[in-house]
Amino acid sequence: MYSRLVVVIMDDSIGAVSLADRVRGRTFGFTRVADVTASIDRDSEDTIAVFLDITLDDPDGATWPTEDIVELRRFLLRGAAELELELTVYLRLSPHTDSPQDDELVAQ
Partner 1 sequence: MQRPINPEWPLRQADELAGRDATTRGQPRNANLRRSVSAAYYALFHFIIGCAAEKLLPSCTHELRYRMTRHYQHNAVKQVCTWVLPQNQPAQRVREAILRIRESDDLIDVADAFIQLQEARHEADYDHLADFTRPGSLALIDMAYDARNKLSIQEELPKGELFLAHVSMASRLQP
**CB 4 → partner 1: shortest distance, Å?**
17
* Single-letter amino acid, residue 38: A
Which segment (3-11, 21-29, 32-40, 94-102) binds partner 1 by CB under 8 A?
Answer: 94-102
- Under the binding rule (CB under 8 A), the answer on residue 81 touching partner 1 is yes
CA dist 41 and 30 (Å) reads 31
CA dist 60 and 31 (Å) reads 9
* Beta bridge partner(s), residue 97: none
Residues in region 49-78 near partner 1 by CB under 8 A: 56, 58-59, 62-64, 66, 69-70, 73-74, 77-78
* Distance, CA of 46 to chain centre: 19
Residue closer to partner 1 by CB (options 27, 63) is 63
- Residues binding partner 1: number (CB under 8 A): 36
**What phi and psi, each to the nearest 5 degrees, are found at residue 34?**
-80, -40
- Under the binding rule (CB under 8 A), the answer on residue 98 touching partner 1 is yes
